[in-house]
Amino acid sequence: MTALQEVAPREPAAVRREALYFAVRNGKLMAGFGIVLVLLLLGLLGPVLFPGAPNEYGPKPMTPPSGEHWFGTTTFGQDVFLQFVYGLRSTFAVGVIGGGIAAVIGMVVGFVAGYRGGIVDEALNMLTNVILVIPTLAVLLIINAYLGIRSVAVQGLFIGLTQWPWAARAIRAQTFSLRTREFVDLARMSGAGTGRIIAREIAPNMSSYLFMTFILLFGGSVLIASSLDFIGLGPTEGVSLGLMLQNANQWSALQLGLWWWFVPPGAAITAIVGALYVANVGLDEVFNPKLRET
Amino acid sequence: MRRYFGRKLLIYGLTFFVAVTVNWMIPRFMPGDPVASMVARANVTKPEAVEAMRVYYTSLFGLDQPLWQQYVNFWGALVRGDFGVSIWLFPTPVSSVIMAAVPYTLALIVPSVLLSWVVGNQFGAYAARRKLLDNTVLPVGYVLTAMPYMWLAVLLAWAFGVILGWFPVAGGYSFSMRPNWSMPFLLDLLHHWTLPFLSLFLVALGGWAIGMRNMIIYELESDYSNYLSALGAPSRLIRRYAFRNAVLPQITGLALQLGVLVAGALVTEIVFAYPGLGSLILKAIQNKDFFLLQGTFLFIVLGVLIANFIIDIVYVVVDPRTRAGMAGAQA
């Protein structure tokens, strides 16, 4: 994904102050997080400010955007803006659940494989590679189709369970380089166990890296969820941006010229994921002095 | 070299084994009785027909036998190329339903994956040394990679299909035509193929361009580049070395991205109602045709594995270190 340099251990407080200094001056980071924040607030506050049932059929079908219906209405008279605002919520939820679970599994596998090495590493590496090669969407398809329980949480769970391998691989490589440093040796000599060394010595030294991994996993989860929704394996209750796209496609919004039905949800997904990627580049520059332009 | 391929083959073998096992396990260990639900869905009213279907499905699944026997049978059928019978297109075997769809999917995926990789790498390499190009390639690249495949497909279909009317927005060929090898039919195929191809090509393009740009910048700042320029080597030569080094991770990236690219092709096909595997999966899900779903799943896994294997061979050809047998550690 992103080119990542090795992390050098330094005084944590000083690093934090310096990072903050460069963070607020980094245009990419601020713009990226700004866009995500605006959409997040819209998703969180929207349903509170505009209560109503997003899937309820209305009296005026197929109207273009107007003062009454900001994003127009669907062929069934549903308010597209309401669907959009509620859909944002499930998109963020899937990103947090899917990205979070994948990040946790990726960290555990990556840390253990990288720190322990030897046969443990061989076994975990083999597992990672096997799951890496299987096309995720195909597995999710058959699991979702059989299971039939489709809520945002379950969807996020399965996405998280299948998305961790590349994160595990990247974290393993980083751990590998940290394992032989003096401060880790020191901790080992003072009798600390594996879990403690990983949690106290290794993880804090790559916290910025872990955060960036989570951001990429978040974006990936959002994209996978939208594909699943589009195929018709989305949540059966409620709305999501992917489901809006599916409905628009299924009820020929294209041929009928209802562009306001399929433009907003796709644009929001693109904006969220794109802004996260750009913010990630910004973060990279903040944490890595070599990449700073000024 | 032998070690490298030995490792790769082991991983592919294991992956295929896991995929088949998952495929076998899901209908058996998921909640609910697949046979009962399939009979119920078939909407048959005559009791003797219901009974016949129940017996048929039970023996198809081999559910009357012990578990290990079912597992062995599953593998046996697979080796014989027997994926069962489609429920949606009833007496047709799943394997022939899939075979009819595969050429369309391949015709979409192979050119779009290869072309986007080649063009993306070239763009990225140029962008790395031209400020103006860099400032356009980078933002456009990020927008393209962040786009869901089906959304770009929908936008293209809307712009070029509905508004401008240049290209058809659905199907693999016109309804008035029957598949044959005549010139008008091939042109018609190409006409229908353009938009789905374009949407797959564009989304993948952005990621490759960004990846290549970052790698080239990294390579141009590395010690060997500085050393070469200190020796007074022409910048053309340095760039050529940088490109050769930067392209290796991109080949690995291609292997890693294959699964995602295939998934993108599946949803794009659904947007354009293109008669490939993606549309087949949609129909299988809508009609609860689990045999068809399982068959396509295995087919996709097999396809991704074969493609990965080809990439591994290419990697050996391009990277001299692998030939020397040093890359055993990085599987």
Nearest CA to B186 out of B277, B279, B103 is that of: B103
Q: What is the ipTM of this complex?
A: 0.84
Q: Does A223 touch chain B (CB under 8 A)?
A: yes
Task: Looking at the structure, tell me whether residues B120 and B34 fall in a common domain.
Answer: no
Chain B positions touching A223 (Cβ under 8 A) are 146, 148
A13 is a domain residue: no
B216 is a domain residue: yes
- pLDDT one-digit tens code per residue, B249-304: 898 888 888 888 888 888 999 988 888 898 888 888 888 777 888 888 888 888 88
> Which of A1-15, B37-51, B207-221 shows the lowest mean pLDDT across its residues?
A1-15
Residue-level pLDDT at B84: 76
B87 is a domain residue: no
- pLDDT one-digit tens code per residue, B90-128: 778 888 888 888 999 999 999 999 999 999 999 888 887
Q: Calculate the CA A35 to chain-centre distance.
A: 15
Identity of the residue in B19, B26, B214 whose CB atom sits nearest the CB atom of A146? B26
Please give the Cα distance from B174 to A233 (Å, whole number): 29
- What's the structural domain count of chain B? 2
pLDDT value at A16 more than 80: no
Task: Looking at the structure, tell me whether residues B247 and B167 fall in a common domain.
Answer: yes
B325 is a domain residue: no
- pLDDT one-digit tens code per residue, B146-177: 999 999 999 998 888 888 888 888 777 777 76
Q: Does A142 touch chain B (CB under 8 A)?
A: yes
Task: Looking at the structure, tell me whether residues B154 and B282 fall in a common domain.
Answer: yes
Q: Give me the amino acid identity at B275.
A: P
Residues of chain B above pLDDT 90, percent: 11
Task: Looking at the structure, tell me whether residues B76 and B145 fall in a common domain.
Answer: no
A197, exposed or middle or buried, with CB in 10 Å at 0-12, 13-18, 19+?
buried
> Which of B31-40, B53-62, B184-193 shows the lowest mean pLDDT across its residues?
B31-40
Q: Which domain holds residue A138?
A: 98-238
Q: For B210-225, what is the mean pLDDT?
A: 86
Q: Which domain holds residue B37?
A: 1-80
| Burial annotation A77-89 (CB, 10 A radius, 16+ → b, else e) | ebbbbbbbbbbbb
B86 is a domain residue: no
Task: Looking at the structure, tell me whether residues B278 and B230 fall in a common domain.
Answer: yes
- What's the structural domain count of chain A? 1
Alpha helices in chain B (DSSP H): 2-29, 34-41, 47-61, 67-79, 94-127, 131-146, 149-156, 183-220, 223-230, 235-271, 277-286, 290-318, 320-323
Q: What is the pTM of this model?
A: 0.86
Q: Is residue A139 a contact partner of residue B22, using CB atoms and an 8 Å limit?
A: yes
Single residue among B30, B47, B80 that ends a domain in this structure: B80
A57 is a domain residue: no
> A255 vs B162: CB contact, 8 Å cut-off?
yes
Q: Does B311 touch chain A (CB under 8 A)?
A: no
Please give the Cα distance from B308 to B322 (Å, whole number): 16
> B23 vs A232: CB contact, 8 Å cut-off?
no
Q: The domain that contains B106 carries what CATH number?
A: 1.10.3720.10
Please give the Cα distance from B55 to B64 (Å, whole number): 10
